[in-house]
Chain A
Amino acid sequence: MSEDIKKPEELVQVDFKPPKKKWSDPSVEFKKGTYNFSALPGNLDYLSLYNPGKWYAPEEKWPVPENWQEIILKGLKERLDRYRSLKIFMDVCVRCGACADKCHYYIGSGDPKNMPVLRAELLRSVYRNNFTAAGKIMGKIAGGRELTLDVLKEWFYYFYQCTECRRCSVFCPYGIDTAEITMVVRELLSLIGLNIHWIITPAANCLRTGNHLGIQPHGFADSIEFAVDELEELTGIKVDAPINKKGAEILFVAPSADYFASPHYYTLLGYLALFHEIGLDYTWSSYASEGGNFGLFHSQETMKRLNSKIYMEAKRLGVKWVLGGECGHMWRVVHQYMDSLNGPADFLEEPVSPITNTRFENTKATKMVHICEFTADLIKNGKLKLDPSRNDQWTPTFHDSCNPARAMGLLDEPRYVINAVSNKFHEMPENTIREQTFCCGSGAGLGTDENLEMRLRGGLPRANAVKYVKDKYGVNILLCICAIDKATLPTLLDYWVPDTEVGGIHELVGNALIMKGEKRTTDLRGEPFVGKEIEKDV
């Protein structure tokens, strides 16, 4: 953590008193630690996006094309005609304020433009000014604002301070979903070349190599092989992890962080152990090796391009259906967009578990099953031998990731699995879990080092709920089913709730799973099982 980050005692002094300056004044200050670096030209070119060259947000001059207002207004008109959601959300807000203190960024920063209502008004005011009769005639009195360069900068600042977590939409009496608005504004900004590095780089890498980090196929194969070796060291069992295997029954797609990053890696070991133990006929793909989709944070077009690989690869390999790993926004794309974007998946079969013969009827069109649905079914049918005491070193709580919670309703499957593999599970307070769960504060492409202060502020509500159960029950691990969570929550917890680990559900499944012929005394992190180390000493 860099030296100039404020101390927690200081950062938590949030002032909720609105400033003197009216919100309609668009001027923003790009404060260090609260915004993201702009995209690299090479990656924009790879994605065939408009490339304005190198630029830097705090600089006075922005490299926008001369007719940028025209491009944006035309783009907005197009999107109003394409999305009923946008049109209704522009028109019906009554500014009741119910959403205001539901946003993690508002809670952590007190900046009124982080209230969902005002974030939306930033666009709504321009919409009124240019597209409604009242706004055209009465201008400011009708709440209209001219689209100026300052407004553009304000958009860039605040629509990259929304993680598209959709918590506000749970509380809105009209279901206004700020994510819809943020997605549209980010598309508009991209039309004139304003993009951020942390979205465009993973997207370009993913298009080319199949994963966010740009690791080439042999590197991917090495990582999987390395994990197989490591699992053998831990358990004495050499598992098979086929890659690009034609004719396998199931294609498995996980977020790439699972095989490149920690603590994701232990979840990968969990998957490998589980698939071996049940004898699953599956394959990884090096081409479709990324479940995550940063296109969701950029534009529906980029999302569609990246997502296309999964079905294309499933078809090429001739699998029956697709199984997906622990990832949050990946599952929003799979559940709510994939079939519409790149379906129909009529070349696949309706998913049936080869182990339990359970038909996953809820996936009969999209043909993709969530690993928690799959594992919960295995456990319910008694197909796994589990020893939950092998997770006794952990007192876990569970962080519902925004997208599985509010775009799917995947709430009880993960809890069922956790309770089957652990003895000490405790829930966080009810206003912070399930559909009311709080974002990690780093989603939607905002999990960068340069944006750290904003992430820590946005992560306060989540971290504080963890602190509550840590103090009350001694919780020492925050479980989650999202790669961005696993990548960013450790930093957050280090800052707000030191000495709390982050892990995946299938890491704990891997620990509890009793494998035939195993020789193991440690968990997947290589730590001795609690209680077992004493036996060894005796």
Chain B
Amino acid sequence: MNVIVSLAAVIVLILLAIVGVGAIGLDYLFGVVIPYAAFLLFVVGFIYRIFSWAKSPVPYRITTTCGQQKTLSWIKSSKLENPHTTLGVIGRMALEILFFRSLFRNTKTEILPGPKVVYGSNKWLWLGGLAFHWSFLIIVIRHLRFFIEPVPYFITMIEHLDGFFQVGLPMIMLTDAVILTALTFLILRRFGPKLRYISLPADYFPLLLIISIAITGVLMRYFTKTDIVGIKELALGLATFSPVVPEGIGLTFFVHIFLVSVLLIYFPLSKLMHLGGVFLTPTRNLANNNRMKRHVNPWDYPVDVHTYEEYEDEFRDVMKAAGLPLEKES
């Protein structure tokens, strides 16, 4: 049910672009106005979300420690899994963000007869996630070639590396193959009983949206005749705030750029904000130096405590009888 709702949403979006451009001829709306609006909403939305998180303080230092703490000089502490310095935290965050360290720990628990509870290695999600995110990033960087003229060397270089295997003509990009494979894996795993049970439309929708974006991209690159020069003209126009919509760049392109626009708008409203959240998560981005350095709670307020005096007043007689020292004899 949840997957059907999401699939329907994506199909409607595709049809919108086809009808809008193909039938009504709203080239300018889909080629310029919506992309501009989407980009603006993305930037504003993203910043707004980050600020709204940052506005809430971190009252306590609640690091999840995943290794030996820093204590006695002769005990080796785990500088990356349980960092006690800022440098260590940067290292830990880098491992987390660039290589998905925590996901790498993933195991699969099973209860075998005996009973025997076993924990098997389970790195598929880690691999699939990493493959998807890295290829997505590289593809985004590759796309910058449309927006910049002359094309900077590093983009050309990335493109060369990506097409390293030089299969066929036009050159097949490694990341195109990887992202489609990874996305297929990521959506198929959601159809397993456990994942299907916990998945919401908000889990299927972005996957289907990105799959559609990737497919339209691949179609343009390898299958349909696409006017690359026209697309570059449009993209460069957008980037330089002098938008033009050249004739004949093809419907597939408009579907592609419309879906990307939807992704940009949807991004700050959704779980995709994990891109920002992962930097701010207090269990990972704080040093475990709790007993070394005081951490102040900005909203701390006094509470009603039970003082020693009140305690002694209540128990003076029995304390006296037990020979315990007293502040006041009566």
Contact = CB atoms under 8 A, between A and B. Distances in A.
A206 to B, nearest CB: 9
A169 interface: yes
A218 B315 CA distance: 9
A62 interface: no
Contacts of A521: none
A340 B75 contact: no
The contact size tier of chain A is 35 or more
B108 interface: yes
Nearest to B280: A88
A460 B270 CA distance: 37
Nearest to A93: B271
Contacts of A180: 62
B24 interface: no
A98 B125 contact: yes
Contacts of B59: 82-83, 300, 340
Contacts, number: 305
A88 B67 contact: no
A390 to B, nearest CB: 25
Interface string A334-370: 1111011101100000000000001011111111100
Interface stretch (B140-148, B191-199, B227-235): B191-199
Contacts of A107: 109, 111, 117
A216 B283 contact: no
Contact of A286 (B52, B296, B324): B324
A527 interface: no
Nearest to A416: B75
A337 B200 CA distance: 36
Contacts of A305: 303-306
Contact of A170 (B66, B116, B300, B325): B66
Contacts of B100: 173
B273 interface: yes
A17 interface: yes
B274 to A, nearest CB: 4
B194 A343 contact: no
Contacts of A368: 291
Contacts of A343: 294
Nearest to B206: A94
Given A244-B325, A286-B319, A460-B117, A406 B56 contact: no
A515 B21 CA distance: 91
A362 B292 contact: yes
Interface string A140-184: 011100000000000000000000001001111111110010000
Interface residues of B, number: 99
Contact of A91 (B273, B282, B303, B324): B273
A83 B76 CA distance: 33
A304 B53 CA distance: 25
B126 to A, nearest CB: 9
B308 A133 contact: no
Contacts of A174: 274, 277-278, 281, 284
A92 interface: yes
A376 interface: yes
A173 B67 contact: no
Given A365-B293, A368-B291, A143 B308 contact: no
Contacts of A27: none
Interface of A: 8, 12, 14, 16-18, 23, 48, 80-88, 91-98, 100-102, 107, 112, 115, 117-118, 121, 133-134, 141-143, 166, 169-177, 180, 207-210, 216-218, 221-222, 243-246, 286-287, 300-301, 304-305, 308-309, 312-313, 316, 334-337, 339-341, 343-344, 358, 360-368, 373, 376-377, 380, 405-413, 416, 429, 431-432, 434-436, 460-461, 464-465, 468
24 contacts: A8-B115, A81-B55, A82-B57, A82-B59, A85-B62, A88-B282, A92-B273, A95-B195, A96-B125, A101-B107, A115-B198, A117-B198, A142-B201, A170-B66, A175-B102, A216-B318, A218-B318, A245-B325, A304-B303, A312-B307, A337-B60, A340-B59, A409-B82, A410-B69
Interface of B: 5, 49, 52-72, 74-78, 81-82, 84, 96, 100, 102-103, 105-109, 111, 115-117, 119, 125, 129, 193-203, 269-271, 273-274, 277-278, 280-284, 288-297, 299-300, 303-308, 311-312, 314-315, 318-319, 321-325
Given A16-B194, A91-B49, A92-B271, 12 more contacts: A81-B56, A84-B57, A112-B194, A207-B306, A301-B303, A336-B63, A340-B59, A340-B60, A360-B72, A366-B290, A409-B288, A435-B65
